[in-house]
Structure 1
């Protein structure tokens, strides 16, 4: 397999957009946590407390998603530096590691989405129980 300086650079736009999406998810969760915290303080509802616990898990996942995404970007830059220095074999392994880190980040994103959907299902179930005749 032939690898040039432009090969790792191809991932820059994709990783940048992923990191932006992860940051947007983080900001949305932070706002939601703040609103749920004040809601819990006034109601002491177990449902709200459960949602806050769910959001805590999601925050850890998002932090990990961002970390692996940043590590992937760093690996791509490092790979370009190594390729520029003329070490193509090490560059290939570095690029492969960057791809692996990106895959881990995406797998964590999938898990975070699954948890998010589960939380929404619980919210809908609660809505159905309260509105049932």
Structure 2
């Protein structure tokens, strides 16, 4: 483990960007200066998903996490936070990288919304054809 006050990781998903810092602590998660439970307003599945990288390596109570997240919706933000935390863990503990990689927590999901094209209703939807 390197001697640093915190470990930093950047995660992205769709149009959401998350910057995570891992400090030594007791397992508190803060998102945009609010507790994670308050920020996600009681969405239990998404709240549990945030700490997946720590659960995989068994360090849920070893770090306090502060996250700055912007853009996108709640689900995209949670995926960005998850990737940022996984990357921050690998900065501090390089030996845990294979474990996180095997759990598929270090890969960025590249799917983004396709842009709207000129003359169409959306990216691919067209006007309904009228024979007469």
TM-score (norm 1): 0.34
More helix by share: 1
Between structure 1 and structure 2, the one with the greater Rg is 1
TM-score (norm 2): 0.34
